[in-house]
């Protein structure tokens, strides 16, 4: 009986729904007419008020996510010092953090090699500071320091805070490479940084950006022709180094007085070159990667125009110059390879004599070992292999002439 009653109740509910859904044609027409009138009024209002159209165009998810479309990237203040997050006291900076910064990180390939040094021999470590500044320090006896430790070192005056970037045998190799002739005169490493040292260090780092902009305003007030690039606070917060570039000698005595009165710290002005400026500021090169000077180059070598000529590059300053305005450092990378390859080439610029006429040299492809010549009365370039050019020159020295250059022409493989 209960199941029959339930079935009858369900059937009655379905019939009520069907009756409720049914509507006459007049009701349907009235509903369409009212909706069209509402839409027409809305369109007229929008045409009258064009600002309303802009305000009504809102992203559908804006109410749920107000920060949608906004950049959440915040430039790290500690990346320039070798760590991608806020360093903490009594905790070494992880190797993965230092590598992800891509700022002069070091791969210790002698890490697993046991040094045969005696116990009485002094140990040295390399400590990195802001951007490209690195220095070597002497370790006190009995203190074991690992790579990534935040340490307190001797400053001028006071103490400075840095991160250990290199230890062991590779550190000594770097010292020899950088001509550190008197290791006994190196500054001392005091200890691992305490919590108070790290806290004061972080407070000094927070001041650098605001001080940079304020100093640029003072430079404009004094009318000095100099460009302030970077500010580096000492770890104890008592001294700041101002790095600048200038084309001429600058008298900044009044500027130093103004800075000392405003910031109440010891001021040191340090002039740097265009390459050092690019290494401190960083950027993206024409190759699409970070600048080599800001990632791994710590000593600059001179680059001359002869390097570009050896690589058969057209002397276009816009293409050969880097962001510093000087010739690109990467021109030196393949220079030795080109010089070795050109040693097997005959002397460039020598004319070839044939029975058809004399031919003039135009260009060379070092890696394909091809040289292009053309007759003096023709503009058509003929590629000839280096081996054939040497043969023609040897015949010319014997006062013999080949028939023509077309018989030695090499077809380029694309």
Query: Which DSSP state fits 284?
Result: B
- Do residues 169 and 109 lie in contact, with contact meaning Cβ atoms separated by under 8 Å? no
The dihedral through the CA atoms of 317, 322, 325, 330 has a sign that is negative
Q: Confirm whether 386 is domain-assigned.
A: yes
Q: Is the pLDDT of residue 164 over 50?
A: yes
Q: Confirm whether 123 is domain-assigned.
A: yes
Strand order from edge to edge, sheet including 239-245: 227-233, 239-245, 266-271
Domain span including residue 29? 25-57
Select from 290, 323, 342 the last residue of a domain. Answer: 342
**Both 85 and 169 in a single domain?**
yes
**Both 192 and 89 in a single domain?**
yes
| The pair of three-digit structure tokens given for residue 196, joined into one six-digit string | 């108070």
Beta pairing, strands 124-128 & 134-138: antiparallel
Select from 164, 199, 234 the last residue of a domain. Answer: 199
Q: Is the pLDDT of residue 24 over 50?
A: yes
Between 342 and 1, the more confident residue is: 342
**Both 195 and 212 in a single domain?**
no
Q: Confirm whether 68 is domain-assigned.
A: no
**Both 216 and 315 in a single domain?**
no
**Both 168 and 102 in a single domain?**
yes
pLDDT digits (tens, 9 = 90+) for 229-262: 999 999 988 999 999 999 888 888 899 999 988 9
- Do residues 292 and 285 lie in contact, with contact meaning Cβ atoms separated by under 8 Å? yes
**Both 96 and 195 in a single domain?**
yes
Q: Confirm whether 308 is domain-assigned.
A: yes
**How many domains does the chain contain in total?**
5
**Both 176 and 109 in a single domain?**
yes
Q: Is the pLDDT of residue 161 over 90?
A: yes
Q: Is the pLDDT of residue 13 over 60?
A: no
- Do residues 408 and 392 lie in contact, with contact meaning Cβ atoms separated by under 8 Å? yes
Beta pairing, strands 187-192 & 134-138: parallel
CATH code of the domain containing 219: 3.30.300
**Both 125 and 194 in a single domain?**
yes
**Both 364 and 399 in a single domain?**
yes
Segment 350-361 shows an average pLDDT of 88
Q: Confirm whether 168 is domain-assigned.
A: yes
Q: How confident is the model at residue 67 (pLDDT cuts 50, 70, 90)?
A: low
Between 73 and 99, the more confident residue is: 99
| The pair of three-digit structure tokens given for residue 407, joined into one six-digit string | 């018989």
pTM to 2 decimal places = 0.68
**Both 315 and 404 in a single domain?**
no
Q: Is the pLDDT of residue 120 over 70?
A: no
Q: How confident is the model at residue 14 (pLDDT cuts 50, 70, 90)?
A: very low
Q: Confirm whether 364 is domain-assigned.
A: yes
Q: Confirm whether 12 is domain-assigned.
A: no
With 0-12 / 13-18 / 19 or more C-beta atoms within 10 angstroms meaning exposed / middle / buried, residue 373 is buried
Lowest mean pLDDT across 35-39, 45-49, 118-122, 389-393: 45-49
Q: Confirm whether 9 is domain-assigned.
A: no
pLDDT digits (tens, 9 = 90+) for 176-219: 888 888 888 889 999 999 989 999 999 999 999 899 999 999 99
Select from 150, 178, 199 the last residue of a domain. Answer: 199
Q: Is the pLDDT of residue 385 over 70?
A: yes
Q: What is the C-alpha to C-alpha distance for residues 125 and 377, in angstroms, rounded to an integer?
A: 68
**Both 182 and 89 in a single domain?**
yes
**Both 177 and 231 in a single domain?**
no
């Amino acid at each position: 009986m209960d199941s029959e009653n339930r079935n009858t109740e369900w059937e009655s509910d379905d019939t009520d729904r069907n009756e409720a859904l049914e509507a006459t044609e007049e009701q349907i027409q009235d509903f369409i007419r009212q909706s069209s009138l509402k839409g027409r009024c809305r369109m007229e209002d929008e045409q009258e008020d064009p600002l309303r159209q802009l305000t009504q165009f809102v992203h559908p998810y804006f109410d749920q996510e107000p920060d949608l479309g906004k950049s959440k990237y915040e430039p790290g203040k500690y990346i320039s010092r070798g760590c991608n997050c806020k360093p903490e006291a009594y905790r070494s900076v992880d190797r993965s953090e230092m590598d992800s910064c891509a700022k002069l990180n070091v791969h210790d390939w002698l890490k697993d090699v046991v040094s045969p040094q005696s116990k009485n021999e002094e140990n040295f470590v390399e400590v990195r500071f802001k951007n490209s500044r690195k220095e070597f320090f002497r370790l006190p006896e009995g203190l074991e320091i690992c790579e990534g430790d935040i340490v307190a070192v001797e400053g001028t005056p006071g103490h400075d805070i840095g991160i250990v970037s290199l230890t062991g045998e590779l550190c000594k190799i770097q010292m020899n490479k950088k001509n550190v002739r008197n290791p006994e005169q190196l500054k001392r490493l005091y200890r691992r940084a305490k919590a108070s040292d790290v806290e004061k260090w972080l407070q000094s780092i927070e001041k650098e950006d605001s001080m940079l902009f304020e100093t640029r305003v003072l430079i404009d007030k004094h009318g000095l022709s100099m460009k302030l690039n970077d500010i580096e606070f000492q770890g104890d917060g008592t001294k700041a180094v101002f790095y600048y570039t200038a084309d001429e000698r600058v008298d900044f005595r009044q500027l130093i007085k103004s800075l000392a009165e405003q910031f109440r710290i010891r001021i040191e002005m340090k002039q740097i070159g265009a390459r050092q400026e690019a290494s401190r500021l960083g950027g993206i090169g024409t190759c699409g990667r970070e600048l080599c000077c800001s990632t791994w180059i710590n000593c600059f070598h001179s680059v001359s125009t002869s390097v570009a000529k050896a690589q058969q590059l057209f002397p276009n300053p816009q293409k050969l110059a880097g962001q510093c305005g000087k010739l690109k450092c990467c021109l030196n990378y393949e220079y030795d390879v080109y010089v070795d390859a050109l040693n097997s080439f005959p002397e460039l610029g020598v004319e070839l004599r044939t029975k058809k006429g004399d031919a003039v040299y135009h260009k060379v492809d070092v890696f394909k070992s091809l040289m292009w010549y053309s007759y003096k009365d023709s503009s058509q370039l003929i590629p000839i292999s280096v081996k054939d050019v040497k043969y023609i020159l040897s015949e010319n020295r014997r006062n013999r002439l080949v028939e023509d250059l077309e018989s030695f022409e090499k077809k380029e493989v694309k």
